[in-house]
Chain A
C-alpha cells in the first residue's frame, strides 16, 4: 500500500512541463484514485491525485491542468463546490465529474447549467457540461472519454 501511495503522488511537484496532459484527480476513495491514476499514467497522462477536496483546492494552481476529474460525492465539500472554487481561479480548465449515482446524473447537469448561466451573466464564458463519467468504468473507456473531452 505504501508503494501505491508513492505511485499516487509521484508527479506532485513536477509541474509546468506539459500543459496538455496534466490532470487533477480528486476522489475520497483511495482505491479509486489509485486505479484511475495508474490507468491514466499508463496512457501518458500526468496525474495529481487527492483524496481530500480541501487539500486539492489548496494545492490548485491556475493554468497547470488541462482537465480536472472530480468525484461528485465527497465528505466536507462535494465535487461541484470544489469545481466552483477551481473555476474562480482557472476559467479555462476542462472538467469531468465522476459519479456512482444514476439519479444524480441529471441533478449535476442541472446544477452545472444554473451555475453556467450565472457566470454568463457575469461575463464569463463556460461550456456546457458534457463529461459525466459513471462509476464503475473500464479504464480504457475512461482514457477514451478524457481524450475526447480534451480534444473537444
Chain B
C-alpha cells in the first residue's frame, strides 16, 4: 500500500468517525429534547388538570360551606326565640350556632329592626354592655336583607375592629300577618354571621391537596382581593389597583405575561371558568379560575395557581442530561479519535518496521542469492575438481597398469634365467649377469614408481641444504666417465666451468638424481660426439630471484618431435634400459624447488636439417626456494 493511499484512507476513516459521533450527538440531543418536551407536556398537563380540579373542587367546597353557614343562619332566623324576641332563649340559640361552626365563623349577631345590636354570640357581659344597642343600620349586611328580604353575602368589610371579614346576613321576617304573600313579611330583625378572611383563607388552604404545591387567591366580583396565600397585606386592595399592579409588574417580567394575566382576570370576573399558563418569575404557572356560586349567584372567584415545578425540574434535568450526553458523546468521540489516531500511527510504525524488515530480508535474500551463486560456482569447481580427480584416477590406474607391466618383464627374465641356469651350467656366468641386470632394473623401476607415488600424493619432501652445484655435477660426470670407458664408447663427457663454486639451497640428493638422470639419458642416446654439462649463475633484477642454470647438451639422436610435447610425462620417453619415469620425476623435483625444466633439439649444424642432439636445461633459485612441494 502506498503512503498517500494510507493517508487518504486514514482521513476518510477519521471523518467517518467524526460524522458518526456528530450524528449520534444530534440524534441524542434531538431525542432528549423531544423526550423532555413530552415529559414537560405530560407534567404540565397534569399540573393544569390538577389545578383545574383543585379550583373546581375548592370552589365547590367553599360554596357548600357558605351555603351551610347560610342555612344555619336561616334556621336561626326562623327560630321561635328570635321571632318572639325572647332574648334569654335567643342567647342560647345564637351561642349554639356559633359553637357548631366555630372553626369557620367568627361570631353570630342579632340586629333588631332598626339595625341595632340585640345580641352577639359568645361575648362576655362587659363587652355586651359596650356593643349593646350599637347602630349597624348603615352596613350593607343590614340594609340589603331589610330591603330584599333575602339572604345577603357581603364582600370584604372592614369592621370597627379593623379585622377584614365577610358577612352573611339573613332577614328575620314575621310572616303571620301576610300569609298571602309568600316570602314577604314584616322585618323584625336581621341575623348576621361573619367570617374572618384569615379563617376563610386557612380553610381554603386546608382544602388543598397537601402534595400539590399551589397557591390560592380569592376575589370578589369587583376585583377586590379577599385572600392570597401567604400574606394578608393585599386584602381589600383591588386587583387593578396601584398597589397590586406594581407588585405584579415586578413579578411578571414580560408584557406578554401581564397581558395574559389581565385577560385571565377579566374573563374570570365575567363569571367564566378556565385556566391559563402564565410565566411568572421565569416559571410557568397554571392559573385556574372558578366562580364560587352561592344560592345561584356568583359571589366570589377562586384562583388556584400552581407552578410547573415538575416540568421545570424535568427540563433542568433534561438540560443536564443533554449536557451530559454531549459531554459523553464528545468524550467517546475524542477517545475514538485518539484510538483511531493511535491505531493509524501504530500501523504507520508497523509499516515502517515491515519496510525495514523487508529491506533486511531483501539484503539477506541478495546475500543468499550471492551465496547460492558462490555455491553454484563452488559446485562447478567441485565438478571440475571431480572430473580432474576422475582423470587423475584414470591416469593413476593407467600408471599402475604400465608400472605393473614394466615390472613383469624383468621378473619374467629373472624367473626364466633362474630355471635355465640349472639346465645350462655352461652359461651360468652370463645368466647370473642377466639376472643381476634385470634385478637392478626392477630395483630402479621400484624406486622410480615410489618417487612418482610420492610426487602424485604430494608427499615429496625436500631436505634443504646449501651445497656447491659444480661439486655434485663433478661427481656425476666422474661416475658416467667410468661407465663410458667400460662400454668402449668414445663419447666425451665435458664439465664446463667446473671450477666455479655455485652455492645453491636445495635438496642435494634429489638434484643429484635429476642431473644424473639427464646425464644418463644423454649417455644412453649418444653414440658419438660429446656431452657438455654446464652450470652458470643468472643474475636477475630482484636479488632473491638469482638462479642457477644447468644445461646438458649432447650430440645424440635428438628428440622425436612426435613425443616432444609429452616428453616430461610418464612412460613416454622409454629406452630399453630405462623406466620411462625419469623425466617426469626430474620435472617434478625441479618444480618442487620452484624452477623449470625444458628440452630443445639443437639447431642443425651440418646444413641438411639433421638434428645435432638435444639440450636439457633447468634453472633453480640460489636462495631458499619458496615452494617446497608442488603437484
Contact = CB atoms under 8 A, between A and B. Distances in A.
Given A135-B409, A135-B412, A139-B419, A38 B424 contact: yes
A136 B434 contact: no
Nearest to B411: A136
A4 B430 contact: yes
Nearest to B441: A31
B438 interface: yes
Given A1-B430, A3-B430, A138 B405 contact: no
B409 A102 contact: no
A147 to B, nearest CB: 17
Contacts of A36: 416
B261 to A, nearest CB: 142
Contacts, number: 72
A87 B430 CA distance: 37
B434 A102 contact: no
**Interface of B, helix, strand, loop or mixed by DSSP:** helix
Given A29-B409, A31-B434, A4 B416 contact: no
- Which of the four size classes fits the interface of chain B? 20 to 34
Contacts of B434: 1, 4, 31, 34
A42 B409 contact: no
Contacts of A138: 415, 419
Nearest to A140: B419
A145 interface: no
A55 to B, nearest CB: 16
B358 to A, nearest CB: 62
A35 interface: yes
B409 A39 contact: no
A119 interface: no
B102 interface: no
Nearest to B416: A35
Contacts of A137: 412
Interface string A110-152: 0000000000000000000000000111111000000000000
Nearest to A30: B576
Nearest to A142: B416
Given A38-B420, A73-B405, A100-B408, A29 B430 contact: no
Interface of B: 401, 404-406, 408-413, 415-417, 419-420, 423-424, 427, 430, 433-434, 437-438, 576
Interface of A: 1, 3-4, 29-32, 34-36, 38-39, 42, 73, 100-103, 135-140
Given A38-B420, A39-B419, 7 more contacts: A1-B430, A31-B438, A32-B413, A100-B406, A101-B405, A138-B415, A139-B420
